[in-house]
Amino acid sequence: MTKKIEKGSGNVFADLGFKNPDEMLAKAELTHQIHKVIQERGLKQKDAATLLGLKQPDVSALMNGKYLDFSVDRLLMLLVRLNKEVQIVIKPVSKGKISTGIHVSAM
């Protein structure tokens, strides 16, 4: 029995046919960075909520990957409240690259 292996596009949301896959991937990556900072600082959800200006259930939602109710802008501002510098870089598409999109990288 031969298994068919299909190469992914790099965006699981696009591969699964979701609407607005670039936005969903950006939100997922931003949420991951927020989660990472909260974990690294050892913040309890209540303390993180105070710092972020959110209610504790909203922090819980983010920590559990439930980010669809948050805009990209709001997630960016949460990173700023966590004392992270956020830079937005706009550049031309690389030669030979077919698709464009939103990409999040962290240092």
- pLDDT by residue (tens digit) across 1-18? 788 888 887 888 888 999
Q: What value does the mean pLDDT of the chain take?
A: 89
- Report the CATH number at residue 69: 1.10.260.40
Q: Is the pLDDT confidence value at 98 over 70?
A: no
8, part of any domain? no
Where in the sequence is the domain holding 39, given as residue range(s)? 18-81
105, part of any domain? no
Are 22 and 29 within 8 A, CB to CB?
no
74, part of any domain? yes
35, part of any domain? yes
Report how many domains make up the chain. Answer: 1
100, part of any domain? no
31-39 long-range CB contacts below 8 Å, 24 or more apart? 31/62, 31/65, 31/67, 31/70, 31/75, 33/79, 33/84, 33/104, 33/106, 34/62, 34/75, 34/78, 34/79, 34/82, 35/62, 35/63, 36/106, 37/79, 37/82, 37/84, 38/63, 38/82
92, part of any domain? no
Residue 36's pLDDT is what?
Answer: 96
68, part of any domain? yes
Q: Is the pLDDT confidence value at 100 over 80?
A: no
Mean pLDDT of 15-22: 90
Q: What percent of the chain has pLDDT over 90?
A: 59
Mean pLDDT of 49-66: 96
13, part of any domain? no
The overall pTM is greater than 0.85: no
Helix (H) or strand (E) holding 87: none
Q: Is the pLDDT confidence value at 99 over 80?
A: no
